[in-house]
Amino acid sequence: MDFEAVIESLPRYGEPLLVTVGVTAASAALALVLAFALGLMTASRRLAVRAPARVFVEFFRGSSVVVQLFWFAYAMPVVLGVQFDHLIAAGVIALGLNYGAYCSEVVRGAIAAVPQGQLEASVALNLTPLQRMRLVVLPQAWPEMIPSLCAFAIMLLKASALVSVIGILDITWLAGLIGKQPGQDRLLHYAVVLVIYFVLAWLIWTGMRALERRAKRGLGVDARPAKGRLAPAVAAGGAR
């Protein structure tokens, strides 16, 4: 195996790595915004609000990401006359919509899991529906969402490799390309990519853990792993 050839070609990963990170970050941001919008809509009691969001979510969850990528990159310009200057935008939108649809269920579930008594107390204090959501429900639902959102963020990182099907050069495609060249070992290049993905996933995981701990501290709960310590009392009316 030729390690030297691999090491010499490492700088070539720079730009594709930026693509992988950029596509992941941009589509995660889009997905997060959509997740909250759709999650709040699907949690609504009004059918006129709930129904369109539900249709959107089921459509994007129920159809293939690869087909969506092709559609945004190649079909939409023909059918709707909307052309992206950079194909990467099509990739970000397809992944963002897809993962936004998935994550909206996380948001909806976490909102639904806030105890009914919390809503009743906020009605008793005469908060408006918007204040109930902003001051009471979301701050309690948010820490519950983080672990699932973290899992989706890591899945999204790995799914970003799919943008290669619309001709965007990311690290996975690059590994395949360089690996085919004479004097290069394809397996070693795939091993490099494996490590890069692992490190990126670890960064996401670490960041999300820190975020979760901070969020739980905002509920008066110590979220550090318990060592010889009893589990913290569940905040909402748990301690009797």
Stretch binding other proteins (CB under 8 A), from 15-23, 40-48, 59-67, 216-224: 216-224
Of the candidate residues 78, 230, 231, 239, the single one contacting other proteins (CB under 8 A): 239
What the block records as the tokens of 238 is: 């748990």
CA distance 71 to 56: 16
Find all residues with CB under 8 Å of 152, minimum gap 6, and list them: 31, 99, 102, 103, 106
Intra-chain end-to-end CA distance of the chain, in Å: 65
Burial of residue 143 (CB within 10 Å: 0-12, 13-18, 19+) is buried
Under the binding rule (CB under 8 A), the answer on residue 118 touching other proteins is yes
Under the binding rule (CB under 8 A), the answer on residue 52 touching other proteins is no
How far is residue 188 from each of residues 29, 62, 133, 169, 180, measured CA to CA in Å? 32, 36, 51, 19, 11
Of the candidate residues 52, 127, 186, 203, the single one contacting other proteins (CB under 8 A): 127
Under the binding rule (CB under 8 A), the answer on residue 139 touching other proteins is yes
Under the binding rule (CB under 8 A), the answer on residue 232 touching other proteins is yes
Q: Residues 172, 178, 180, CA angle at the centre, nearest 5°?
A: 105
Of the candidate residues 47, 48, 80, 124, the single one contacting other proteins (CB under 8 A): 124
Of the candidate residues 52, 167, 207, 218, the single one contacting other proteins (CB under 8 A): 218
Contacts with other proteins: how many residues (CB under 8 A)?
31
Contact 224, 45 (CB under 8 A): no
Under the binding rule (CB under 8 A), the answer on residue 81 touching other proteins is no
Of the candidate residues 52, 77, 147, 237, the single one contacting other proteins (CB under 8 A): 237
Under the binding rule (CB under 8 A), the answer on residue 234 touching other proteins is yes
In the complex, which residues of this chain contact other proteins (CB under 8 A)?
Answer: 115, 117-118, 120-129, 131, 135-136, 139-140, 218-221, 232-240
